Amino acid sequence: MQNNEPIRLTQTVKKGGCAAKLPAGELQSVLSGLEKFRPKNLILGYETMDDACLWDLEDGRYIVQTLDFFTPIVDDPFDFGAIAAANAISDIYAMGGKPSTAMTILAFPASQLPMTLIRPLMEGAISILSKAGVALAGGHTIDDETLKLGFSVSGFVDKNKAWTNAQAKPGDALILTKALGTGTITAALKKGEAKEEWVKGAIKSMTTLNDVIDALSQIEVHSATDITGFGLAGHATQMASASDCVFRINPEALPILKGANECLKLGFLTRAHATNESYTAAKVKWELSSSNDSLWPDWKRKIILDPQTSGGLLIAVPAKQIDKAISAIQKAGFESAIHIGYVESKALNADPYNLIFT
């Protein structure tokens, strides 16, 4: 690589962003039955594959802890740093908490990339951390063959205000706060086939903080999760399963980033599209009429499998509060936030599905 040639970070890795996650099904199988120490203060661990853990501080609060890192999903180092920070912080918001501190995890290929690149990476990250009111308190770096950046983030939440992915109730309405499609658009970017406006839209979405906590302070939030590498299908089925419910979603209601449908139709996919499909195959059912089915061919159904990086929150609230909740979230800056479906009782559905598109 010549000194005057722009560095495209996406060309330094085989896979980027949350699409680089290990397959959810295989990971569950490997970890099944693992013996672990479980003190009484650990209120929530990884048993329901939730977004973060909850530790009882015994003062009326939980400390919320998470860790997230990945390889470059965009070419610009500032943007990559900002996306990595927003993505890690999102797990705290998904638990109803407010983030407070962050520690950096950085693997840097010093023999392949100039060390000066670290500064814009961290400037991008700090721009988001500062916006969220998060103090960067330190971190750890190593020399590695592949660039990876992420953060361990801690926050706090009052016990009676904590959200988990296991408390959705029949009759709840489901809200998705961000549009889908970052996986396929960035796959096209890596191939040099994504339009600039598509990439800009995806970056704007990925660098938007999922801070809806204050906006929903007057709403009875029952459950929440953030949509990342396992796609809407994966994270929604995890939430429905943990809540012992069925989510019925209208695919026509799903917000989709500009350019995502074009990229899917052209076949710009990641390995995660296939692993997410395998993971959710037995849990997802399509109940579309023949007239609607033509509007959702196989390539378009891939949007529910699309691995999101710093995606939106999926939130379950009482149906009677849906309009108020949507209005509050949109006023907080989430223009794509929309009501996408409802929660049903598992007992009313004789089949094994957790997620039904109808």
The span from the CA of 212 to the CA of 325, in Å, is 10
Sign (positive or negative) of CA dihedral 218, 224, 228, 234:
negative
Q: How many CB atoms lie within 10 A of CB 208?
A: 19
Count of C-beta atoms within a 10 Å radius of residue 282: 12
**For residue 133, which of 98, 91, 83, 182 has the smallest C-alpha distance?**
98
Active site residue 53: no
* Helix/strand/coil for 16: coil
d(CA 264, CA 98): 35
Instruction: With beta carbons less than 8 A apart as the criterion, state whether 74 and 189 touch.
Output: yes
> How far, in Å, CA of 255 to CA of 278, rounded?
24
355 CA to centre of own chain: 18
CA 108, CA 349: separation in Å to the nearest integer? 50
DSSP letter for 240, please: H
Closest by CA position to 79, among listed 180, 182, 155, 4? 182
Sheet strands (E) in 109-230: 135-143, 148-158, 172-176, 223-226
Place of tokens 């916006």: 131
Rounded-to-integer distance, Cα 243 and Cα 283, Å:
14
Task: Return the closest-CA partner of residue 124 out of 161, 169, 72.
Answer: 72
Which residues are part of the catalytic machinery? 18
